Structure 1
Amino acid sequence: MAKRKHPEADATRQKDDEDDSGSDEDMDMLDVDFEWFDPQPDVDFHGLKTLLRQLFDVDAQLFDLSALVDLILSQPLLGSTVKTDGNESDPFAFLTVLNLHEHREKQVIKDLTSYLLSKSSTHPSLSQLSQLFSSSSSAQVGLILTERFINMPAEIVPPMYNMLLEEISWALEEKEPYNFTHYLILSKTYTEVESKLDAEDDRPAKKKKQKGSKSEGGETFYFHPEDEVLQKHAMLWGNFDYTKKDEGTSDSKRAFQEMGVKPSGHVILIDGAKFEETVKAVGAFLSPS
């Protein structure tokens, strides 16, 4: 299955020089060339494992991430990595899709589906997942896994989704098993919590400034801004608590703010027939103004 890859793109990152005045002169502009590549079995194992560990957060230890990376790399003509220093460098971002039905006998997929089922049983908003994963279901679910380092610009996301659409189209022409009835996107969100360090030092906490959605536990914020658009086109979406508990995690993740950060798992289910229009909406939302 032939495929085009490696388009180059320019993106601009903004860096605050840490001056408190807030004027335009305080922002330095850094131009970075990003390149999109096919997953490389000989190069990307450790980089993808690092990104998966970030995606699953404290629950990463519940899964055989090495086996999951091997599965991703077993389909190198599907999915993308984003790099800044050529094909032999480590990926800063990736996106791929796995056929949960096709790989249902693999232990890491069994573990993942069991994990998601356990979350759906305790969160009413996710209850429909149990029907999709039942033995009697004819659904072909594509699990989308995507993650990027926190300082990567969101503008790299639309090309990865557009390439995925193109790659799935080519795969279907070759009669490969990617005719998905549903796409399940695994992501993560966070809520702000009072910092224990601030409480100990009697320091005032900074007010929230980011935009998010409301939940029972307070305002929810997105690690991936595209999730806001994906949810608008979704059949269902919802957050869930991680299985593992890490009491120190809220303060360890607060690099850019005074409040503590409590991450949560997040899933979004999209009808396969609406996936293309959803990808277009993501592109419009994240396109540079």
Structure 2
Amino acid sequence: MGKKRTRNPDDDDIMAEDVPVQGKKNDGDSSDSDEDMDIVNVDFELFNYDSTIDFHGVKTLLRQLLDADASLFDLSQLSDLIVEQNTIGSTCKVDDKANDAYAFLTVLNVQEHSKDAKKPVVKQLVEYLAERARKSQDENLAKVVPELLLGEGKQQVGLVLAERLLNMPAEVIPPMWSCMIDEIEAAVEDKEPYEFTHYLVLSRTYLEVESSLDQTERKNKRSKATGELQYFHPEDEEMRKFATAAGSFEYTREGEAAVADSKRAFQEMGIKPVGFMMLIEAANFQKAVQAIGEYVATGGISMETS
């Protein structure tokens, strides 16, 4: 697979690959046989951010990433910051650059952007994550993350924001991360502020919850979360192995309505979305990205649509 990036933000260099996505064959046959399967080849392409095109697509994905707490932040301001960093990170699209992104990935310098009084959204997000980390059951996360985010030391933290639409093929994941590694290295060589000591990866996870069809009971009783933490993004479980600290956190604006809607995803069990963050030292970040690539290549992640 060729590289997407040049350091010239005006270049339209892209990277594309046929990604096989399995779907049931629609031939008018009512049979549900798994033998009636076709392979649909789709060209997913990675692009530099374009401020004239990508604002709304990135904002939509940010709303999905931040889930119930999205309304706490100025997502328009955050989207502007992301698309203005057009040599760091990627959007993933189908067919044409002018389309909305199906996925995005970027990294923001916490210390650099938190100083910008005209665009306070990063500072607000940093304070929010520090507070969520303090309440984590992971003692390491509760202690280290607030100190790194809010401290006055020489540590430089890169806040990694990534999200994609559901049922995106796993094969698009490793190229996006690998490209960003290359872009960060090139930016450091150009004396840009991307020489991080740590990366804080923000993501989403969920817990299964007991489902109830009784509307009256649902209003008067909170759903009970059960079972182990589950991952919306399976590669997070692999990346977590390289984290200094990692843990989930509840959203501050989690409401009964949000949980009730999520129950529709399962017939017997519903889901309770929760935030998730991983702190990875810079020395281990590239190893984590390589592990994702190996995980996908060996079939650790699969996707099937119907």
Same-fold status (TM-score > 0.5): yes
Superposition map of 1:141-152 within 5 A: 141-152=157-168
Deviation at 1:192, TM superposition (A): 1.1
**Alignment partners' CA distance in 1, 2:132 and 2:34:** 45
**Alignment partners' CA distance in 1, 2:264 and 2:22:** 16
Aligned pair 1:14/2:13, yes or no? no
Q: Which residue of 2 aligns with 1:233?
A: 242
Instruction: Identify the range of structure 1 (120-129 vs 232-241) with the bigger mean alpha-carbon deviation.
Output: 120-129
Aligned pair 1:52/2:65, yes or no? no
Q: Which residue of 1 aligns with 2:303?
A: none
**Alignment partners' CA distance in 1, 2:207 and 2:284:** 29
Q: Which residue of 1 aligns with 2:106?
A: 96
Superposition map of 1:245-264 within 5 A: 245-254=254-263, 256-258=265-267, 259-264=269-274
Deviation at 1:261, TM superposition (A): 1.2
Instruction: Tell me if structure 1 keeps the 8 A contact 2:130–2:150.
Output: no
SS class of match (2:183): helix
Superposition map of 1:183-222 within 5 A: 183-197=199-213, 199=214, 217-222=226-231
Q: Which residue of 2 aligns with 1:212?
A: none
Find 1:110's aligned residue among 123, 146, 151: 123
Find 2:285's aligned residue among 272, 275, 278: 275
Q: Which residue of 1 aligns with 2:182?
A: 166
**Alignment partners' CA distance in 1, 2:115 and 2:30:** 56
Aligned-pair identity (%): 46
Q: Which residue of 2 aligns with 1:243?
A: 252
Deviation at 1:80, TM superposition (A): 0.2
List per-residue Cα deviations over 1:39-69 (Å, max 9, x = no partner). 1100010000000000000100000000000
Instruction: Tell me if structure 2 keeps the 8 A contact 1:239–1:264.
Output: yes
Q: Which residue of 1 aligns with 2:221?
A: none
Instruction: Tell me if structure 1 keeps the 8 A contact 2:47–2:91.
Output: yes
Aligned residue-pair number? 274
Aligned pair 1:154/2:170, yes or no? yes
List per-residue Cα deviations over 1:193-240 (Å, max 9, x = no partner). 12233x56xxxxxxxxxxxxxxx9521111011101111011010000
Q: Which residue of 2 aligns with 1:82?
A: 92
**Alignment partners' CA distance in 2, 1:155 and 1:288:** 11
Deviation at 1:26, TM superposition (A): 4.8
Find 1:266's aligned residue among 276, 280, 284: 276
Instruction: Tell me if structure 2 keeps the 8 A contact 1:196–1:251.
Output: no
Across the aligned residues of Structure 1 and Structure 2, the Cα RMSD in angstroms comes to 2.3
TM-score when normalising by structure 2: 0.83
The aligned amino acid for 1:159 is: P
**Alignment partners' CA distance in 2, 1:257 and 1:158:** 29
Instruction: Identify the range of structure 1 (64-73 vs 99-108) with the bigger mean alpha-carbon deviation.
Output: 99-108
Deviation at 1:27, TM superposition (A): 4.0
List per-residue Cα deviations over 1:133-159 (Å, max 9, x = no partner). 233222100000000000211211100
The aligned amino acid for 2:167 is: N
The aligned amino acid for 1:160 is: M
Deviating above 4 A after TM superposition, structure 1's stretches of 4 or more consecutive aligned residues are: 16-23
SS class of match (1:96): strand
In the superposition, relative to structure 1, how do residues 37 and 159 fare at CA in structure 2: closer, same or farther (>3 Å)? same
Instruction: Tell me if structure 1 keeps the 8 A contact 2:109–2:194.
Output: yes
Q: Which residue of 1 aligns with 2:304?
A: none
Aligned pair 1:61/2:45, yes or no? no
The aligned amino acid for 2:246 is: W
List per-residue Cα deviations over 1:99-140 (Å, max 9, x = no partner). 001111231011111101111221141211111123322210
Deviation at 1:252, TM superposition (A): 2.2
**Alignment partners' CA distance in 1, 2:209 and 2:264:** 14
Find 2:135's aligned residue among 109, 122, 125: 122
SS class of match (1:196): coil
The aligned amino acid for 2:19 is: A
Q: Which residue of 1 aligns with 2:219?
A: none
Structure 2: runs of 5 or more not aligned: 1-6, 216-224, 300-306
